[in-house]
């Protein structure tokens, strides 16, 4: 007999998390082994449980979700990652794919799509919910000339998201596992590449470009 797929749910909204746990535990073949409120806890539970799938909300306190997805695979190479988000903009979708995630589910779509996503990635496939698939279909093959985001490295994008969340350099450094000096270097590069010369401007730019959920 085939064993159930083990799942970890990470979402900082307890009501949503409870609903997801109930949905998945009521679905044949799925078993939620842990539900947590941030990516840091998800990484600890991944190390402990080695689940088949980790479902990550994108905008949570603590470690950046896209960095967490990469670390999940380092901790447990056989664990797959699915992103769950209230937004399905181009930047989130591109970052999710770059992180190695095999699925992306929009919270506004049918909840059963998350069940389908978990089953699909558990079998080695990939899954994008209806709204995300429609968004992917309309995404250009390359960035338009007006956007400078394509100039940024993945670490600079990660730094920019933390700045937009209001974190200081000292708070960002341990989350990215780098020194404050390196964070400062990333910030300097951001300001140079984006031609923005203060943190408030960087935050506004990140929000305007959809790099964090509103």
In the listed set 115, 138, 161, which residue is the last one of a domain according to the structure?
A: 138
Report if residue 143 sits inside a domain.
no
- 160 and 117 in one domain? no
- Its pTM stands at 0.75
Confidence of residue 141 (pLDDT cuts 50, 70, 90): low
- 112 and 91 in one domain? yes
Residue 201 sits in a domain of what CATH number?
A: 1.10.10.10
- 108 and 180 in one domain? no
In the listed set 138, 170, 197, which residue is the last one of a domain according to the structure?
A: 138
Residue 117 sits in a domain of what CATH number?
A: 3.40.50.2300
- 200 and 134 in one domain? no
User: Quick one: CA dihedral 164, 165, 170, 176, positive or negative?
Assistant: negative
Buried b (16+ CB within 10 A) or exposed e, 119-139: bbbbeeeebbbebbeebeeee
**What local confidence, expressed as pLDDT, does residue 184 receive?**
92
Report if residue 28 sits inside a domain.
yes
**What local confidence, expressed as pLDDT, does residue 208 receive?**
79
pLDDT digits (tens, 9 = 90+) for 148-206: 777 788 888 889 989 988 999 999 999 888 999 999 999 999 998 888 888 888 988 88
The domain containing residue 105 runs over which residues? 5-138
């Amino acid at each position: 007999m085939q064993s159930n797929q083990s799942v970890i749910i990470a979402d900082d909204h307890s009501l949503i998390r409870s609903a997801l746990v109930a949905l998945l535990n009521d679905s044949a073949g799925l078993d939620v082994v842990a539900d947590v409120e941030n990516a840091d806890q998800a990484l600890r539970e991944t190390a402990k449980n080695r689940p088949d799938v980790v479902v990550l909300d994108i905008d949570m306190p603590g470690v950046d979700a896209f960095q967490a997805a990469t670390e999940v695979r380092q901790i447990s190479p056989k664990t797959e990652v699915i992103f769950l988000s209230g937004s399905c903009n181009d930047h989130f979708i591109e970052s999710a794919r770059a992180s190695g995630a095999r699925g992306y589910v929009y919270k506004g779509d049918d909840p059963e799509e998350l069940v389908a996503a978990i089953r699909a990635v558990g079998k080695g496939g990939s899954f994008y919910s209806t709204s995300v698939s429609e968004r992917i279909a309309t995404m250009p093959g390359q960035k338009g000339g007006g956007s400078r985001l394509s100039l940024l490295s993945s670490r600079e994008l990660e730094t920019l998201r933390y700045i937009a969340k209001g974190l200081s350099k000292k708070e960002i450094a341990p989350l990215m596992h780098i020194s404050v000096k390196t964070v400062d270097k990333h910030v300097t590069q951001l300001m140079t590449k984006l031609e923005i010369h203060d943190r408030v401007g960087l935050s506004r730019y990140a929000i305007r470009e959809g790099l964090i959920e509103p």
